[in-house]
Amino acid sequence: MRPSFLKLNAPYLAAIVIEPTPELTIANILNGEHEGAEAFMVDIAAWAPDCLTKETLTRLFHCCGRPMMPLCYRSRNLGADKVSDDDRAELMIRCIDAGAAACDIMGDLFAPAPHELTRDQKAIDKQKKLVDRMHALGAEVLMSSHIYNEYVPGDAVLDHMFEIQNRGVDIAKIVVSANTDDELIEAFRTTVLLKKSLKVPFVHLCNGKFARIQRYMAPVLGAALTFGFREYTAHATGPQPIIRNARAVLDELSWHQDY
């Protein structure tokens, strides 16, 4: 049976895996599972394009029984100059055919837009059809917006996440910034607001100076997950904690709001 993100006990620890080859990706996942990751976001944008076959993707998505979600954002070998969004959508479908539990649709798929959320009705209709198609294949769907390096107040984050939720996805995700202690407090308030207001599970993450502490607290306040890297590498740098550390923190932080 296809693994599921929605059936995991929230909050859970999901590893972000960014490796240049399928073999290193699979090794990273197997090691990461051993260290306590419960799910995997697998960034395949660094792979050589000829590796993105159904056969290799099937090997990837069956390397362990944990739910996995490919990340096919517009970067590196999947940059907008190399791959159209229609082909990106087909790549995600190929990943589902190969066993991916879920896919991550960018909020501006089919019409690049500020704050990674399109308001173009034609693009939105196309996104909704893609969501239906993914559901029909048995996969779960997350929609994400990455608003890097920008502080976004809680009410605006909530409006944004309502818009994502309205597109029919199973998980809503947003990444913003917290660079001052006031922004950190607002980020905590925002997670609670999202928890109270959204019907779907959500991912709420900050980058910036206060990213690490926000990423430990968000799951405690109602976010579905926090992300970790297995280790920092040339491909994986960022505010995400190391899986082993995040595992210990989530295990010891024995208070959280239930779904």
Ligand X SMILES: O=C1C[C@@](O)(C(=O)O)C[C@@H](O)[C@@H]1O
- Interface residue list for ligand X (CB under 6 A): 16, 43, 71, 144, 146, 175, 205, 207, 227, 238, 240
At 110, the amino acid letter reads: F
At closest approach, how far in Å is the CB of 27 from ligand X?
A: 19
At closest approach, how far in Å is the CB of 65 from ligand X?
A: 23
Report the C-alpha gap between 254 and 178 in whole angstroms.
25
Contacts of 214 (CB under 8 A, 6+ apart): 178, 184, 187, 188, 205, 206
At 192, the amino acid letter reads: V
Name the residue nearer to ligand X (CB basis): 75 or 166: 75
At closest approach, how far in Å is the CB of 96 from ligand X?
A: 18
Name the residue nearer to ligand X (CB basis): 127 or 144: 144
At closest approach, how far in Å is the CB of 44 from ligand X?
A: 11
At closest approach, how far in Å is the CB of 208 from ligand X?
A: 10
Name the residue nearer to ligand X (CB basis): 98 or 225: 225
Name the residue nearer to ligand X (CB basis): 112 or 238: 238
Name the residue nearer to ligand X (CB basis): 3 or 228: 228
Name the residue nearer to ligand X (CB basis): 74 or 195: 74
Report the C-alpha gap between 89 and 69 in whole angstroms.
14
| CA separation, residue 17 to residues 20, 43, 83, 126, 136 (Å) | 10, 6, 21, 28, 27
| CA separation, residue 244 to residues 30, 39, 126, 240, 252 (Å) | 14, 14, 40, 12, 12
Residue nearest to ligand X (CB): 175
Give the ranges where the chain is alpha helix by DSSP (H).
Answer: 22-34, 54-61, 85-97, 121-136, 154-165, 181-197, 211-221, 243-252
At closest approach, how far in Å is the CB of 140 from ligand X?
A: 16
* Six token digits for residue 119: 């308001």
